[in-house]
Structure 1
Amino acid sequence: MNTLLKNARKQKNLKTRELAQLIGIDQALISKFENGSRKPTKEQIKKLAEILEINYEILLIEWIKARILYEIKDEGELGLKALLIAEEEIRYNASFKRKKLSKNLQAILKEIDDIKKELDNFRQFDSFRIAQALELEYTFESNRIEGNTLTLRETDLVINEGLTVSGKSMREHLEAINHQEAIGYIKQLLERNFTLNERELLSIHNLILRGIIPEDAGKYRKVQVMIKGSSHTPPQPYLVSKAMEDYFIWFLENKNKLHPIILAAEMHERLVTIHPFIDGNGRTSRLLMNLILLQSGYVIANIKGDYDTRMEYYNSLEAAQTSNNKEDFLLFIARTEKESLERYLSIIKQ
């Protein structure tokens, strides 16, 4: 950047003193800008671009690059690793700032909030039995997405009657029991008016894999993984802890800025994209999403496990992960929540 400034000044036949007067700063600063010992402010960059007739975007990019290199110049390989981790976050934030919510998303969010307002007027008719039945369906569908072959009736027998279903594996039984206990845990969190953090996330995952892969339950993975049927490759294991640290920072920065549906969907997609666990990422991501929805007064968004819905779910996730196009996934989650709200309302009104 310093060479760019010096060459542009000379082409304009300006002395450092003259340029300093035009900008309104000390002459010594111009010399420091040109020899690289001092960086101009963003406002000074704008003035320099105008006076020296340099493309502002080009000059700003050079300025940003210089700042980044200054911060990581002594970090070696660690600096490069940090830069790679930051790249995905920067790409997402840049994309998110460029576009507001689409008209389709805005419309469905308005419909969702209208339904929620109507549901709030009927909350006094809510009951434990309604919640219990819908939570059972949620456990059944969430496990079905992951390949569990228990039917809804069999899931009920395993969870509520303590029965063993002939022909079904021990893992399938544990998946049903564990998921239902995880729902109970997030309801306890809601009663405590908690703040989402890493400890609670690991506790949820611990419940999901308890007795199934006990050595990995509630722990970040230490090996590289591939997602079956997806072209997205999750980050290397040594990057997971930092990615999860950034994940919770992002949540704290955005939890009061985004519509709860968008926030919940984002936290779901971001977690399953990092894929921090050896197994149970999908179930944990959906539980976390629904924890955020419940905390904001919405109902569980129950994604169905039938083939067509599952494929739509996976394809929208794939688009978000590989092309940074989250529109389809956000719409999918919004439609799922709308359907869940409508069903809940219809049951209560009866």
Structure 2
Amino acid sequence: MKLTFYLGALQALHSRPVPHSRLVLYSRLVFHPRQPLLARPFVTEAEKVASARRELLEKIYEPFAKLDKNSPEYNELATSGRVWEDYWQPGDSDKYGYTRVQQEVASTLLKIDTLKNAMSVPASVVAKQLVNSYAQQSAAIEGNRLNQSESMVIDEQLRSEVFSKTPLGSMSADDIRNLDLPDPSVVLPQADKLQLIELRNHLVASHWISETSPRAQCSSGLDESEVRALSALTMRDLDPHEKNRYPTWCGDPVMLGGYRTNPAGIKSNPLAVFPYPLEVDACMRRFFQWRQRVSEEKELHPVIIACQTVVYFLHIHPFPDGNGRVSRMIMHDYLLRHGYIPIVFTPFSRPEYLRMMMNAQDGRPGEFVSRVVTIQLEWMQTFQLQDMARNSHHE
């Protein structure tokens, strides 16, 4: 049977970790006649997963099967991103359970909004106090081992050498990606240099978001060029040989801020199917259109939209690396624009977070949304008590 799927052939069907990488790239697979798996006496678990992934890919990309891969129709369909998107429908809030979960947590969301409206100190001020915790936590989810104390040392270096001289609030995302940043190994010489740089980059991005996002109240969030710039900032200086590219462990060379040029997968869920590289541009364009639309419709609560935004973005997985950190920056920004506090997931393990993301992508976002809503409520209550203490002191 001849298969004429997109990109000439479906991509490889087993996870193969790349050193230091959180992204597992798949090499091309060429189909040959083979003995059915069920007819063979010994079938490994990897073969079962490979077979299941192959069947899923064939199902998703079936619209290409009847097209000549050199035809204009084939190329137009490939670059439209519609095949992947029509199959998964990542923006369908009913299908993926967000509408239902919003009803389940409605009373908690009401408490959050009541506390938010009563706060004497706005969330934008609170966010600046949480930058160090937020950035360190977000980096830790991706395996960064630096602790809060070390994060504070890097943050103080940035405040002294950069923020005291640079008005972040008046800078664009492109400006901050090109800032002259200090070497954090100067202040923490015993720590892993790449992890220091990774956390430094996250701190700079988080400070910029805390300064700029509250000025765009109730808007739909960072635009595509800003997200690309934040991705570039997140991954800068992590490859000593290629300053303006994503690290070489991410696959084919890609300039910082560019979308990936390799098929992608994740080791934790080998059956997760992300858009092929030719589809990513169109899928990202509709991601931003979707967020604009649901923000204007106001049928979903902003905290629920922030949750679905993270999962939708990660399902596209647009960049060669750093997608998890950028997804949380998008969430951080969106919450601030709507008057809510950034989410600090502590204590939290990477496997726990990955499980929640995988479940949400499979239409079970309950645990993730519940965590976010609970953390938001706890922070609101914490700052309400601080307000009461300040008022009592003034009396």
TM-score under structure 2 length normalisation: 0.61
Change in Cα spacing, 1:260 to 1:94, as seen in structure 2 (3 Å) is: closer
Q: Is the 8 A contact 1:85 1:239 kept in 2?
A: no
Q: Which residue of 1 aligns with 2:280?
A: 240
> Residues 16-165 of structure 1: matches in 2 within 5 Å?
75-76=73-74, 78-79=76-77, 82-89=82-89, 92=92, 95=95, 100-119=100-119, 122-123=120-121, 131-161=127-157, 163-165=186-188
What letter corresponds to residue 109 of structure 2 in structure 1?
A: L
What letter corresponds to residue 365 of structure 2 in structure 1?
A: K
TM-superposed deviation, 1:226: 2.2
Q: Which residue of 1 aligns with 2:163?
A: none
CA deviations 1:281-330 (Å, max 9, x no partner) are 111111110100000111111112533xx444322211122x22223322
What letter corresponds to residue 206 of structure 1 in structure 2?
A: A
CA distance in structure 2 between the aligned counterparts of 1:286 and 1:349, rounded to whole angstroms: 31
TM-superposed deviation, 1:344: 3.4
What letter corresponds to residue 198 of structure 1 in structure 2?
A: E
Give the counterpart of 1:324 among 363, 366, 371. 363
CA distance in structure 2 between the aligned counterparts of 1:241 and 1:344, rounded to whole angstroms: 41
Q: Which residue of 2 aligns with 1:205?
A: 231
TM-superposed deviation, 1:82: 2.8
Any gaps of 5 or more consecutive residues in structure 1? 1-73
Please state whether the residue corresponding to 2:326 is helix, strand or coil. Answer: helix
Q: Which residue of 1 aligns with 2:40?
A: none
Give the counterpart of 2:322 among 280, 288, 313. 280
TM-superposed deviation, 1:336: 2.4
Change in Cα spacing, 1:241 to 1:101, as seen in structure 2 (3 Å) is: same
Higher normalized helix content (fraction of residues)? 1
Q: Which residue of 1 aligns with 2:304?
A: 262
Change in Cα spacing, 1:99 to 1:339, as seen in structure 2 (3 Å) is: closer
Q: Is the 8 A contact 1:142 1:304 kept in 2?
A: no
TM-score under structure 1 length normalisation: 0.69
Change in Cα spacing, 1:305 to 1:287, as seen in structure 2 (3 Å) is: farther
CA distance in structure 2 between the aligned counterparts of 1:296 and 1:190, rounded to whole angstroms: 9
Q: Which residue of 2 aligns with 1:296?
A: 338
TM-superposed deviation, 1:274: 1.1
Please state whether the residue corresponding to 2:92 is helix, strand or coil. Answer: helix
Superposed CA RMSD: 3.0
Aligned residues: 272
Please state whether the residue corresponding to 1:235 is helix, strand or coil. Answer: coil
Q: Which residue of 1 aligns with 2:222?
A: 196
What letter corresponds to residue 378 of structure 2 in structure 1?
A: E
Q: Percent identity?
A: 25
Q: Which residue of 2 aligns with 1:35?
A: none
TM-superposed deviation, 1:100: 4.0
Any gaps of 5 or more consecutive residues in structure 2? 1-71, 158-183, 247-255, 390-395
What letter corresponds to residue 181 of structure 1 in structure 2?
A: V
Does residue 215 of the first structure (1) align with residue 245 of the second (2)?
yes
Q: Which residue of 2 aligns with 1:171?
A: 194
TM-superposed deviation, 1:98: 10
TM-superposed deviation, 1:246: 1.2
Does residue 251 of the first structure (1) align with residue 251 of the second (2)?
no
Q: Which has the higher contact order (CA 8 A, sep 6+)?
A: 2
CA distance in structure 1 between the aligned counterparts of 2:129 and 2:94, rounded to whole angstroms: 42
CA distance in structure 2 between the aligned counterparts of 1:306 and 1:313, rounded to whole angstroms: 7
Does residue 336 of the first structure (1) align with residue 359 of the second (2)?
no
CA distance in structure 2 between the aligned counterparts of 1:176 and 1:99, rounded to whole angstroms: 35
CA deviations 1:98-118 (Å, max 9, x no partner) are 954454221221122122123
After superposing the two structures, state which structure 1 stretch, 260-269 or 86-95, moved more.
Answer: 86-95
CA distance in structure 1 between the aligned counterparts of 2:84 and 2:261, rounded to whole angstroms: 19
TM-superposed deviation, 1:145: 0.9
TM-superposed deviation, 1:187: 3.2
What letter corresponds to residue 225 of structure 1 in structure 2?
A: A
CA distance in structure 1 between the aligned counterparts of 2:92 and 2:204, rounded to whole angstroms: 34
CA distance in structure 2 between the aligned counterparts of 1:146 and 1:252, rounded to whole angstroms: 28
What letter corresponds to residue 184 of structure 1 in structure 2?
A: H
Please state whether the residue corresponding to 1:215 is helix, strand or coil. Answer: coil
